Chains A and B, each alone.
Chain A
Amino acid sequence: MEALEHLKSGVEIGGYRVLEKLREGGMAVLYRVASPSGAETCLLKIPKLGFGSHPACYAGFDVEQMILGRITGPHVPRLFAKGESEFGPYLVIEHIVGTPLADYAGRAPLPVDEIARLGAALASAIHALHRQEVVHHDLKPSHVILRPDGRAALIDFGLAFHGHLPDLVEEESDRPAGTPAYLSPEQLAGVRGDPRSDVFALGVILYLLATGRLPFGEPASLSGQCRRLYIDSAPPRRIRSDLPPWLQEIILHCLEVRAEARYATAAQVAHDLTHPDQVMVTERGNRLSRPGLMTAGRRWLAALVEPPAVRKSPAAHLALAPHVLVAVDPTYGSEALLQTLRDAVARIIAGEAHWRVSCVSVLEPSALTEQEEGAEIMRSLHTQRLVELHHWAQALGLPQERLRFHVLEGGDAAAQLIEYARASHVDHIIMGARGSSGLRRFLGSVSSRLVAEAPCTVTVVRAVPVRDWPP
């Protein structure tokens, strides 16, 4: 029998023909293989084990096989085949072509807009994973590949966690599973399955891209790693003074010690990275020195009395943090309809701890804006609409830092809203029903298109005039 480290090209496993050895990691050997039809090249992964290896060494391989079998989408490699060969168990997965994030990290510090673009793509990929009940638990630049279309794909699920499947990852007694530089405080405490651990690792990656340094270094000892439970990283702006405060705000928000204090979802990080003007910069974004020993002491004391976290599945975590989009047209409809919209928002976020509400309005071009000074007129209409949105939202009485405001411009309001909802991982759209004039019936309404095409739940509210009640 051939050793699996040296499969010759031409050898067939499960119908896939070996082309060449790609690389040999600590845990597995990767080969490039041709699919049975010969049309595609894929990756063949074989766990690297010698005679008499402990069965637990297979755990990472089994976890990857189990989880890849359950997740789909452009953000993860597809699983083509799995099985047992004479060389042991094997997996055939998609060969994701693109640039490893590690290449970008090697060039860090990067320009701010590039960090925002890469970070948003990565955050979107992480959110897509969390929505499928999976926490990656080993995010780092070498486990992220940027596809040519700009989307990020995550690889290597050997330490991942699925909320509905047994957790096979064996942790050594004194050491949590993962890469020390990227481990979240709760992972260091032995907690697995919290999606906000991935948000922490995302913060470490953003920090690295922004400064060229790791926020907590690469401590080898567990005690060195546990410093991050009490002591913050140096603020990125101290290392790189031209870094905008909004980006530091986002990075340090991801790196909060307590998971509760971090972004509730990676989707919120993606949203903020794509709309930096909407990020409310606090002391966190402006600070140039890390919190002192008093803070460290307080954290140490707080950790002593903190009740153990309640275990929730990854998707249950996300359910607490819905992103609600409310489509408002302040120029149309009665005050009654605008109030009905507010009531609907209040009802939908009631009881959810970490909601975010985006108030969105679509500005459609008119004959006026197509004139010579059109751009100028459009700008002023844009500002006017933004002011009206804020005015509408004031009566909601909700905390400012949880609200976002966007005026979209374009002819096709429904398409604009659907695209915004898709890109911003919106969970729920609320909008008002307009009247039922003959023209509207003929043209079709925005709300009916949203109901049919939006990638999420849509609630259409209607203010019923008193004279029509009971209907």
Chain B
Amino acid sequence: MKIAVLSDIHGNLEALRACLAHAAREGADLHVFLGDLVGYGADPVACLGLLADHAGRGALLVRGNHDEAALGGLCENMNDDAREAAYWTRSRLSTAERDFLAALPLTVRRDRLFFVHAGADAPEKWNYITSKVQAGRCMDASPTAVTFAGHVHHQSLYFSAGSVRVFQPVPGVPIPLSPRQRWLAIAGSVGQPRDGNNAAAYALYDEEERMLTYFRVPYDHMTAARKIIVAGLPARLAWRLQRGK
């Protein structure tokens, strides 16, 4: 089974479509969406429609902090742009979409894999995994040896057989995941990459071969950015799609 892990889509329809098409070419049999399906981007409704189709065909989904923000609350923890985008997204969603988001679990376990948007140690706290210490806590809390997370918008691979170490994956190079280590794969962001590379990011895991491959997929970011401007969302959200930062 080849599992495509797509995180932090953020209502970016162009990026989502490009990644799904790429994953199809790579032979993905199953999709897992790691949360933050909406927020920032101008196409939350279209994205949720696409994702609901996939969910109907067996795809797994977890909830992210931006999905929660789209349902209500004051969003005190968010910066101005994120909060404005959350309020804007709320105004677009119908009851059906709100119900879809509200039904998402915080974590999903599938056999020997565990999926969560942020740290597995306290998924509801939305901790960012940006250090080995935080990665270690997440791996300790995960019930499986291989864990997938998103939330931070760049790709990395943490691993541990005692001490936690981090590896910067090279796009397109399959990495064998030894069964004698614990692994935490940060999938990167489909809809809003922030590592200086504006190509969408996702990961593909081959369960039988235990091979993990990170990918970068160029997509029509100009259109996605233009839609953000037209929608009246903060212009900064459009610029950062172009710069990938």
Contacts and interface: CB of A to CB of B under 8 A. Distances in A.
Contact of A170 (B162, B167, B175): B162
B153 to A, nearest CB: 21
Which applies to chain B's interface (DSSP): helix, strand, loop or mixed?
loop
B176 A168 contact: no
Interface in A73-89: 84, 89
B165 A166 contact: yes
Given A55-B181, A62-B180, A170 B173 contact: no
Nearest to B166: A166
B176 to A, nearest CB: 5
A55 B167 contact: no
Contact of B159 (A69, A84, A168): A168
B170 A164 contact: yes
B162 A167 contact: no
Interface string B134-173: 0000000000000000000000010101110101001001
B140 to A, nearest CB: 14
Interface in A150-167: 164-167
Interface residues of B, number: 15
Nearest to A47: B180
B44 to A, nearest CB: 36
Contacts of A170: 161-163
Interface in A39-65: 54-56, 58-59, 62, 65
Contact of A166 (B157, B162, B179, B180): B157
B178 A58 contact: yes
Contacts of B181: 55, 62, 168
Contacts, number: 43
Contacts of A69: 176
Interface residues of A, number: 17
Contacts of A62: 178, 180-181
A166 B178 CA distance: 11
Contacts of B163: 170
B159 A165 contact: no
Nearest to A62: B178
B159 A166 contact: yes
A66 interface: yes
Given A66-B178, A164-B170, A166-B175, A59 B161 contact: yes
A110 to B, nearest CB: 40
Nearest to A166: B167
Contact of A56 (B161, B170, B175, B176): B161
A170 B163 CA distance: 9
B162 A58 contact: no
Contact of B167 (A54, A66, A84, A167): A167
A391 to B, nearest CB: 46
Interface in B172-192: 173, 175-176, 178-181
A168 B159 CA distance: 9
A170 B91 CA distance: 52
Contacts of A65: 176, 178
A55 B161 contact: yes
A168 B167 CA distance: 10
Interface string B76-94: 0000000000000000000
A168 B178 CA distance: 9
Given A168-B159, A170-B161, A170-B163, A55 B173 contact: no
Interface of B: 157, 159, 161-163, 165, 167, 170, 173, 175-176, 178-181
23 contacts: A54-B161, A55-B161, A55-B162, A55-B181, A58-B161, A62-B178, A62-B180, A62-B181, A65-B176, A66-B176, A66-B178, A89-B180, A165-B175, A165-B176, A166-B157, A166-B159, A166-B165, A166-B167, A167-B167, A168-B161, A168-B178, A168-B181, A170-B163
